[in-house]
Each structure stands twice: as C-alpha cells, then as structure tokens.
A and B are shown apart, each in its own frame.
Chain A
Amino acid sequence: MKPTNIVKAISAAVLILGLSGLLSAAEKPILLRNGHIITVSGETIPGGDLLIQGTKIVKVGKSLSVPPGAAVIDLNGRWVMPGIIDSHSHIALEGDVNEMGDLITAEVDCKDIINPQDINILYALTGGVTSIHTMHGSANPIGGKGIVLKMRWGKSAADLIFAGAPLTSKWALGENPKQSNSMGMGRARYPKTRMGVEESIRDEFEKAKDYTRTWAEYEKKAKAAKDSKGKLTPPLPPKKDYRLEGVADILSGKLWVRCHAYQSEEMLSIIRLCRDYGVKLVCFEHGLEGYRITNELVKYGVAISTFVDFWAYKWEAYNTMPQAAALSANRGVLVALNSDDAERMRHLFNDAAKTVRFGGATQDEAIRMLTINPAKIMGVDRWVGTIEPGKDADLAVFNRHPLDPFTVCEMTMVDGTVYFDRAKYLEERKKAEEEEKKKKEPEKKNEGEV
C-alpha cells in the first residue's frame, strides 16, 4: 500500500464514519447556553439556555445555573430547534425495499433489514434530522411493515429502533401498484386500474377476517379439548399464514396505516374503505392532491406527509402546487414535510422555508411541519418534536434561523449525545488533508530524482 492510500483511508474514516469522542450527556449534564431556542411547544426564546441530563431535556429557559460538572456549550446566538423528523424515508435499509413479485406483502418487515452502516444516516444528521420513519416501497396495495428509527450513527441495528413507536403498514394506491410506469414494466399482473387496487385490499381484508375467525375457532376447540381432559379430540391447527397475520394486525389496529396516494378521489375512497373495516388510517404519503379534500381529511383525522414542491414526475403528481402544504395546514390538516429521498432529507429545512413563500405558511407552522407534526403522525410526540422538559434531547443547531436561505446545520444531538459537529468535522478534515499533502510531497521529490 502506498502511503497516500493509507492517508486516504484515514481521511475517509473521518469523512465517512463521523467523529469519535463527541460530547454526551450520559456522562455529565450538558448546558446549551445563549441561543435562540425554537421550542415549537411555545414561544421562541431569544438568548435562552437548555439543560440536558442523560437522554432528556431537563430545563429550558433564561439564565439557567450551571449544574456541578456540567459541560457548557456556548451557542453564541445560534438557533436550536427540535431535531427534524422525516416521516417518509427509505434509508438505513439493506437492499431493495419493494417486494415486486406479489400483490400483497404484509408479511415482510423493514425491521429485519435495518442497515446501521448506511451513510445516509450520517447525511441525515448533517441536515438536522434525528428521527425517521423508514418504510417499504410502493409497489403493493398492502406492502410491508415500516419502522421508526433514531439516527444513532455508529450504533447497532437494534439500537437504532425508536422504542415505543407504533409499527406501521405501508399501503400504496394508483400508478405504482397499477404498474403504470417503469415499475414492473413488461409484466402483466392484476391490478391495472385503481378499481383493482382497492378491490385487492378489500379482498385481503375478507381473507384475513376468515383467517382470524378460523384461528379463534381452533383455539376455542383446542381449549375445550384441553379442558375436557381427553374426552374431546384436540383439533388440528389451521395452516399458518404470515401474510394474513400481517393483514389481521392492520384490522386489529396494531399497525398504523401509512397509505401512499396522490389523487384526491382515490384518497376519499380509501378513507371510506378504512372506515368500513375500522382500520387506523393515519396518513396519506405524498398526498399531492390532498389540498382538494381538506374538509374530509380534517373530518376523518387523516394527515398528509408530503413534498413541498416535487411534482410532475408522473401523471398523478401533476395536479399539484407548492402552495398545497401551506393551504392544507391553514385549513387544519396535519401536514408533515418528508423527504422520501436521502438527498432531500438533508435540506428539509430549506423545503419548509418554501411553504412561507408558497401558500403563506407562518414560520412557526413551517417549523411544525418538520417537527411536532411528523412526530404526531408517527405516534412519537410524547418523546420528540418539541423542546420541553421531559422530552428526548434530540436537537439541531443552526448558525442562522433554520428557514434562513443561508443557514447551515452545525450540530445534531440525539438522546443528549452529539452525533454531528460541523466545527469538529472541519477541523479533522483539515488535519487529514494537510497530512495527505505532506505525504505527497516526498513522493514528488522521488519522482524528480528518477
């Protein structure tokens, strides 16, 4: 190995693996001092302090006293907001996330393929993102299960899981399950229409109901046989079906439904379906035409997790506008801005600023779309989404207001531990690059001698 390669490996480690020896409140309390604190739960506190102990926020206010042994970070007027929450993502998963072969794939689970080494976790942190809902793709009317993760870069797969977060079921309507575009091109499979998509869900529900009933009957008979102490013959158990068990978990409300949909009529129809079966439909994913049915979304309590301005990439994404998020929010719909993309994830705060220009969202509302709103949609608002005593110390520090066009995320903290620190990152990068330069120079001399 040439010396340059070794140095390259060292600098690569810094650039890719992140930083070691970062501050953690697990060891000693951390006091963040003299920053603008965007609490989301209340007013923004200029010149505010924030005390973190263990994994939690303990105090928020002005001129807090320094507890003994605490590490003090002077924010010097920087802006702190709750860590950004991305309610629609596909990062930190190993391999493909679309189970294309079958129509219904309720049996597969993202939990089984968590990839803690996906560099996009680090990229998420560099954009102030601390929690994500990572999910199955959109090829199936009823797809696999999704999971909520915290961006604890460097930890194991199991350690990334957001304990207590509800599990989710990914559904998809429209062009993707219809396989209208590139998805599954060249293969003919039912459904090819929106009618067929909805029917395939209803069909599966009936199968799952039968399945649940069959098992309930079996268990009843088995219990009776056991209780009869040999008088009754124990029944044979029915065949196990993991797919239908997944669907049954939807019907029982154990899984929260996150439904990929674009067109308003299709959304209305699926709201009706979910009401017919008593299913917990939490949120439409993308929901680009959701602004057309705000009355209904408010009435039935269905949220929208959307892009601010990603559109026209296919027909069902054409009838929308960047004003949609703000208009829907103004009318009382719970709206989250999501990424659905490893790159968009790291500039969600820029996307939020666009809702102020397009549709006239207030800056507070724009920030809510990145924090408490997705937290509510993901069922984790007890722990994250605002800066309040008792909540997880998941924070993003920006050099300017997060909606300022020239803002940069400088530090990101999850559970009271700093996972990203731009100043430290730049320092180590500079060191690595200088060393690389130094190693290169003698090489050049050698070349000269030859």
Chain B
Amino acid sequence: MKKLIIILGATVFMSAAILSSQAEPARLFLKNATIVPVVGERIEGGCILVEDGKIKAVGKALQAPADAKVIDASGMFIYPGFIDSYSHFGLAEIGAIPSTTDYREMGKENPELRVAWAINPHSVHFGTGRVTGTTTALVAPSGGTFPGISALVKMDGWTLPEMAFKEDATSFINFPMTPRPVGEGVAVQKEAKEDVTSKLVEKIRDYLKEARRYIELKKLAAEDPSVKPPEYNAKFEALGPVLAGTLPVIISVEKAKDIELAIKFVQDEKLKAIFRGCAQGFKVADKIKQSGIPVIIDSLYTGPSEPEDGYDAPYRNVVELAKAGVLISFSSGDSPAQGKDLPYHAAKAVAFGLSEDEAIRALTINPAKIFGVADRLGSIEVGKDADLLIATGDPLDMKTEVKQLVINGRPIDMSNWWETLYDKFKKRPEK
C-alpha cells in the first residue's frame, strides 16, 4: 500500500515537472504530506499553500483555492530546501580541464572579484547537485589570501540574475595554516622554530590597515576639497564593506591554535566573520562559542586533521561544536560534482552523535541565519520563499529519493545529466 502511494505520488510529480516548463502557476497547493517546517512542530497530513513564490499558509486542514495547482504528496515528506554553505557550483565543470574551471584567480589578493560575473547557470552540476534537496547554494571563489566575493544563488533559473539571491553574499580570507601545507616551501622543522603563521597574519593585518587608510582618505577628500583623494583601488574598495562590518567574511581556518589566532584577529579588526573548516574546532569549541562566530563545516568525507585527533575527529568535531552551542552549517565542499552529498555529510555527523534535528537545522535555518537571510529562507513559515524539497523519506538517508523540488514557488524541472544517461542506456537491449 505504501509503495502504491509512492508510485501515485511519483506520477503526480512527473506531471508537475511537465507543467512547470509551461506557464508559472500563481498558486500551488501541496497536500497530505508530513511537513517538517524546521521552525515549529512537524505536521502529519499537512498542507502548504504557495502564492507568488512565497509560502502563504501552512497547516493541517487547509482548503485548496480553486485556481491552485494541487500536488498530492501522500506518503511524502516536505522539508525546507537545503542550503549548501560552500560550493563552486557553476564555476567548475571538469576538474582536470582548466578551460572549464573559473573559481581560482591568479595572485593572492583578489577581494574585488565576484563569482556573480562567472557563474554558468547551465552547468550540469546544478542539475545533479540538487537531486538530494539543495535549493540554495553559496558559490564561492577560492585560492590566495583574499579570493573574492561569493554569491548566494537558488539552484534554478535561466540566467544568473534569475538565480541570484544575493550577488554579494560574503567576502573571504584564507587564514594561514600551521604547519604550512606541503608545497608552500616552508619546512615543518623551520615552522617549529619560527612562528610563521603570526607573521603571515601580520601581513593580512597590514593589508587591511592599508585598505582602511584608503577608505579614510577617500572620506576625508569627500569632505575637504583640499585633501587629494587616493588613486582608485578596486581591491580596497571591495574591502570597504568588510571593514565596515556590513559584508560578512568567511575565514578558512583549520587548526586549534590558528582558530584562537583567528578569533583574536576577527575581534581586533572588528569583522563580521564566519569560520569555515575548523577541523580542530572541538579542541577550542568553548572559545568559538564565546566569540559568537558561526562555523561552516567542510565535507565530512575526510580524515582527521592530525592522526592524534583520532580517527573519528571530523565527525566528533561537529558534535562538539554543536554541543558547545556554536551555530553550524554543512557544505558540500570543493567539488560541485560531489554537491549532492550535502545531506550525507550531515548524516555522518548524526551517526556519531549529532541530533537529527540539529543536522536538519544545519542544512536549513542555520545557514540562513549565518548568511543573514533567515527572514526569507531556511524554514517552512508563512511569508518565506517557497523553497521546498519533497522526498520519499528522511532526506539524510542515501536511500531516500527527492521526488520534487520547489524553488521560488515553482516545481522545477528535475531532469539532469545522470537521468539523461540512465534513460538512454537502460534502453539498450540485453543480450
């Protein structure tokens, strides 16, 4: 019986997908689903009314308006669409082919670069990356000390302006790592004797100081005609909102010692910071909590930062950070090709002790808070964007299928490169 319901559900979804390629419906009505709104209690046999891309009503006994497109989601589970807190979606197609990658610019200081200038809305990885429920992703540049400015995008749209939720979501600073990674030319031996990290942090501070001076001088010149304004500097201009604390900055940092340095750095410079990585965060979880800096967890398909941390350190880390009260969110990491694994990283943390509820929050409302968009994303609440995932079961389970995504109130076309190949080759006659 359960199977029958799922099949029936699937048929409805297929027709929904077909419809979506035609005119956009003004109203959408989802019914008979188990709704997990994230903020608020789970609703069995619940309904959601969507109007003009927003959630208009959520509840148990709602009436479908006559003009609404109705989706019967019997046997299905509806969650807010997941938010991937760090990705290179649309900036990389095939890792080994440089002509298809656009996330890493030359040089170390590129705070003015914007991924919004380079995202390919038709990258195959948007299609395959969302099959497990991601509806919004932070698309990040990488490399150097100041990689540039990320964008928060919805996982559907014909053009970037259609997809973009926030074209300038965050800036970045890659904090120096102790010990320096192999290949950066500093021997570990030398590292032990000299505090290379502190020196490199000083360099970053100097750079920010210069940027501050530039902004200060510009301001002075605007007020006082006798002051000569500085020559235009795109890099310092871009750092303006970072230094003013209006643009959040994601700081990549791994080791416990570096995390402590980074906290001090953030406080001294008065930045609105978000940490990314924090592989050894569990060692200084209380200090991170005290600083109020949230943490974006990197891919959990990874080993411990150091063997001494223990084999399960990556998962334990998440559990300890959450336990300390740090605001955490998950991300799929560096490869958009592995984007669909986002909820599976959360599952890995649950296996080692994170509560399922916290794991779901770290895929929805937490990243929405971290990126300052919780008024519009991250939960199923009236007035928020209708970004929903409709799944056959627990979306953290690899065996669950996300049947349909709704983005901005529209059931989107779920076809993707994998399905194209599958549809074609399962038709080859068997001999």
Contacts and interface: CB of A to CB of B under 8 A. Distances in A.
Interface string A357-369: 1110000000000
Interface string A277-307: 0000000000000011011000100000000
A182 to B, nearest CB: 7
Contacts of B430: 294-295, 331
Given A407-B351, A429-B310, A344 B431 contact: no
B99 to A, nearest CB: 11
A444 interface: no
Contacts of B96: 175, 180-182, 313-315
A15 B337 contact: no
Given A8-B308, A11-B308, A321 B401 contact: no
13 contacts: A182-B96, A295-B430, A309-B338, A309-B341, A312-B94, A313-B96, A320-B421, A327-B422, A343-B301, A346-B311, A350-B348, A405-B344, A408-B351
A428 B347 CA distance: 26
B181 interface: no
Interface residues of A, number: 53
A344 B344 CA distance: 13
Contacts of A299: 431
A359 B350 CA distance: 25
Chain B interface SS verdict (over half): loop
Contacts of B311: 15, 122-123, 126, 346
B400 interface: yes
B399 A15 contact: no
What class of interface size applies to chain B in its complex with A? 35 or more
A119 interface: yes
Contact of B426 (A315, A327, A342, A407): A327
6 closest A-B pairs (Cβ-Cβ)?
A321-B418, A312-B337, A314-B96, A353-B398, A405-B347, A313-B95
B307 A16 contact: yes
A146 B431 CA distance: 33
A11 B96 CA distance: 40
Contacts of B397: 353, 404-405
Given A123-B303, A181-B96, A321 B417 contact: yes
Nearest to A292: B425
A357 B422 contact: no
B394 interface: yes
Interface string B259-302: 00000000000000000000000000000000000000000011
Contacts of B335: 312-313
B338 to A, nearest CB: 7
A320 to B, nearest CB: 7
A319 interface: yes
Interface in B389-431: 394, 396-401, 417-419, 421-422, 425-426, 428, 430-431
Contacts of B401: 357
Contacts of B165: none
B108 to A, nearest CB: 22
A365 B426 CA distance: 18
Interface of B: 93-97, 124-125, 301-303, 307-312, 335, 337-338, 340-341, 344, 347-348, 350-352, 394, 396-401, 417-419, 421-422, 425-426, 428, 430-431
Contacts of B400: 357
A192 interface: no
A291 B425 contact: yes
A91 to B, nearest CB: 11
A356 interface: yes
Interface of A: 8, 11-12, 15-16, 119, 122-123, 126, 175, 180-182, 291-292, 294-295, 299, 309-315, 317-323, 327, 331, 342-344, 346-347, 350, 353-354, 356-359, 403-408, 429
A403 B337 CA distance: 23
Contacts of A123: 303, 311
A314 B344 contact: no
A11 B310 CA distance: 10
Contacts of A404: 397
A313 B95 CA distance: 4
B301 A356 contact: no
Contacts of A323: 418, 421-422
Given A295-B430, A331-B430, A359-B422, A15 B310 contact: yes
A15 B308 contact: yes
Nearest to B402: A357
Contacts of B341: 309
Given A292-B428, A315-B96, A408-B351, 13 more contacts: A11-B308, A15-B309, A291-B425, A294-B430, A312-B94, A312-B125, A312-B335, A313-B95, A313-B96, A323-B418, A403-B398, A404-B397, A406-B351
A180 B312 CA distance: 36
B421 A313 contact: no
Contact of B350 (A317, A344, A406): A406
A350 B344 contact: yes
Contacts of B125: 312
B426 A343 contact: no
